[in-house]
Amino acid sequence: SLQQSAADLLPRYVRVNTLKTTVEDAVDYLKREGFLYLGQASRLDDLNLKKKAFVQDLHLPEVLVFSPKMDFHDHFLYKAGHIILQDKASCLPAHILNPPPGSVVIDACAAPGNKTSHLAAIMNNKGQLFAFDLDAKRLATMSTLLLRAGVTCQQLANQDFLTVDPESPQYKDVEYILLDPSCSGSGMVCLRDNSSSADVEKDQARLASLASFQLRCLNHGLRFPRLKSLVYSTCSIHSQENEDVISACLQQNPSFRLVPLLPQWPERGLEPFTQCLRASTSKTRTHGFFVALLEKRSESEPVDQ
């Protein structure tokens, strides 16, 4: 079908799991298997790859890029947890939050756990990584995924993030939060055309209800007393779930500000939220995505908006 072919045109992205291997070792392994390594990409066009050619990504050095047809589901590196099959855009949130080893971190809506495993890799399995999800089945899938990825610093809980008490002894020291809540999924290339029904009013009501949930999660995240930064992401292309949620949140939480992200990234949040990132098939060769980083202002800093 048409939709299928749009998804097939996206490069195949693979994140190297640095808990198990290094980018160099993964590249060497693939070269020995007959893949053709072309070095690090320097522009977006370098991501248009054919046959067995591959490159290191230009923005995210732990990401390797292959031709759209490549399938790693049966590959040793995937089965052994050395590589994670993850779209490049979905590697942005953990990369941007960048919690140092030893820090206390929450992944608020975590299953199936690709971003949790990325956080653990950045933390080098050191510190505390609390991961919540409402859906027990998705959480079970996540346990398997984290085991394969060699993640050991996590504590999983089948709990509504909105009921996690920011003042409780267990969570009061949380410094970093990754919030990737349920969204419309309108950025997923294969879903895009199916997701909008003929009923415009119904779609609008669904978006409004998702946006209100997303804002509640965001406001809740900002209540953790030692919080330094929170990354918010969706795989939606709708401003109602992205810039509008951030805008309402900033109005309600004047002690937080947006951090300008990756200056070299080619697609920005809609005006005036250009500190945030957007991603799309045409501008970044990924699924549609949105990322914002909120940071606590220092005590002395004036509130400018």
Cα–Cα distance measured from residue 139 to residue 133, given in angstroms and rounded to the nearest whole number: 6
- The answer to whether the beta carbons of residues 270 and 238 sit under 8 Å apart is no
Active-site residue 235, yes or no?
yes
Burial letters for 132-147: b for 16+ Cβ neighbours within 10 Å, e otherwise?
bbeeeeebeebeebbe
**Using CA atoms, how far apart are residues 75 and 212, in angstroms rounded to an integer?**
41
In contact, 154 and 75? CB cutoff 8 Å: no
Residue 241 binds ligand SAM, judged by CB under 6 A: no
Task: Using the rule CB under 6 A, give the single segment among 126-134, 167-175, 192-200, 272-280 that binds ligand SAM.
Answer: 126-134
C-alpha–C-alpha distance, residues 203 and 238, integer Å = 11
* Binding-residue pattern over the window 174 to 203 for ligand SAM, x denoting contact by CB under 6 A: ------xxx---------------------
Q: Is 135 in the site for ligand SAM (CB under 6 A)?
A: yes
Using the rule CB under 6 A, which residue among 6, 52, 58, 160 binds ligand SAM?
160
CB of 134 to ligand SAM, least distance (A): 4
Residues 6+ apart with CB under 8 A from 194: 3
Q: Which stretch binds ligand SAM (CB under 6 A): 130-138, 248-256, 257-265, 279-287?
A: 130-138
Nearer to ligand SAM, 117 or 284 (CB): 117
State the minimum distance, in angstroms, from the CB of residue 46 to ligand SAM.
26
Which of 130, 161, 176, 232 contacts ligand SAM by CB under 6 A? Answer: 161
Task: Please choose, from the candidates 197, 178, 149, the residue with its C-alpha nearest in 3D space to the C-alpha of residue 90.
Answer: 178
Residue 241's CB is within 10 A of a number of other CB atoms, namely 27
Q: From 19-27, 107-115, 261-269, 276-284, give the range in contact with ligand SAM by CB under 6 A.
A: 107-115
What positions carry a catalytic annotation?
235
Residues in touch with ligand SAM (CB under 6 A): 90, 109-115, 132-135, 138, 160-162, 180-182
